């Protein structure tokens, strides 16, 4: 179905794998287009409760943008950035959890893709960085913003200006990665996390995402969004089920209604 992606749905978890291992899964124009389509399909498919993004092979999640495509005019450069921003905002704002399983290099656009996900789980050989300054560029898909949000201004400024690459242990220390596992355990451990999240009320999870995203959106009041979401939960069957299950000392069965 896709030329640059592999998809597999199991136990309500859709695994989207960037499949350009010969290019270290570099992000080209076609891959960006197909990634946007794959996210759209995941959001439209009721069987999909959550999504994992990862890379093919054991070397790279996505080792940046495809440098061979970075040419043309200022306007063409801005168009490339806008397309990437649109796709990455779609990931960040997804009401369904989207988690990056970072299985190797996540550099440049690959690091930006990982940061657009709701959180990141890394393999021990994972490497993160925004080395665009080495090419006379800056990140174009939100890297300056999300890296600063995730690890703080001082650390982000240093990484962005030096183009330095950090290892998985440092990413964990900085808060860029939530967990680090051996390469052969990465996907299973990430699935375990999402299987747990999938047992929670889908509408509540979606509202958590929306409210948490509002922290860094100057156009929104996160406290108001949270209060409204709290009230909206009262009108759901899942809230009644959760309350009944708690009182009856049993596990809830949520339906997303």
CATH code for the domain of 65: 3.90.226.10
Distance CA(100)–CA(50), nearest Å, equals 11
Higher pLDDT, 180 or 76: 180
**Residues that are catalytic:** 112, 132
Q: How confident is the model at residue 72 (pLDDT cuts 50, 70, 90)?
A: confident
pLDDT per position as a tens digit, 9-50: 999 999 999 999 999 999 999 999 999 999 999 999 999 999
Q: Which residues touch 117 (CB under 8 Å, ≥6 apart)?
A: 53, 91, 92, 98, 99, 100
114 and 138: one domain? yes
73 and 27: one domain? yes
102 and 138: one domain? yes
231 and 216: one domain? yes
12 and 42: one domain? yes
Does 256 map to a domain?
no
149 and 35: one domain? yes
Give me the pLDDT at residue 69, please: 76
221 and 189: one domain? no
Q: How confident is the model at residue 102 (pLDDT cuts 50, 70, 90)?
A: very high
23 and 39: one domain? yes
Does 102 map to a domain?
yes
pLDDT per position as a tens digit, 195-218: 999 999 999 999 999 999 999 888
115 and 208: one domain? no
Reduced to 3 states (helix: H, G, I; strand: E, B; else coil), residue 75 is: helix
Q: Note down the domain range covering 153.
A: 5-197
Q: How confident is the model at residue 175 (pLDDT cuts 50, 70, 90)?
A: very high
Does 257 map to a domain?
no
- By DSSP bridging, strand 5-10 and strand 13-18 are antiparallel
Distance CA(75)–CA(186), nearest Å, equals 40
When divided into structural domains, the chain yields a total of 2
């Amino acid at each position: 179905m896709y030329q640059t992606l592999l998809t597999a749905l199991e136990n309500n978890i859709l695994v989207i794998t960037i499949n350009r291992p010969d290019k270290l899964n570099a992000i080209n124009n076609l891959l960006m287009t197909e990634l946007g389509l794959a996210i759209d399909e995941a959001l439209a498919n009721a069987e999909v409760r959550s999504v994992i993004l990862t890379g093919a092979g054991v070397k790279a999640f996505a080792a940046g943008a495809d440098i061979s495509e970075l040419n043309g005019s200022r306007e063409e450069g801005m168009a490339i950035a806008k397309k990437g921003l649109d796709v990455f905002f779609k990931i960040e704002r997804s009401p369904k959890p989207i988690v990056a399983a970072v299985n190797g290099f996540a550099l440049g656009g690959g690091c930006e893709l990982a940061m657009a996900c709701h959180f990141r789980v890394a393999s021990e050989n994972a490497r993160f960085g925004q080395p665009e300054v080495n090419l006379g560029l800056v990140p174009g898909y939100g890297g300056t913003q999300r890296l600063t949000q995730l690890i703080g201004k001082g650390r982000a400024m240093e990484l962005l200006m030096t183009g330095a690459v950090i290892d998985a242990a440092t990413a964990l220390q900085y808060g860029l990665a939530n967990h680090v596992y051996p390469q052969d355990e990465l996907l299973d451990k990430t699935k375990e996390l999402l299987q747990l999240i999938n047992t929670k009320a889908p509408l509540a999870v979606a509202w958590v995402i929306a409210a948490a995203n509002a922290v860094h959106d100057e156009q929104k009041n996160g406290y108001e969004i949270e209060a409204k979401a709290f009230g909206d939960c009262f009108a759901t069957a899942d809230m009644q089920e959760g309350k009944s299950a708690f009182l009856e000392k049993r596990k809830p069965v949520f339906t997303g209604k």
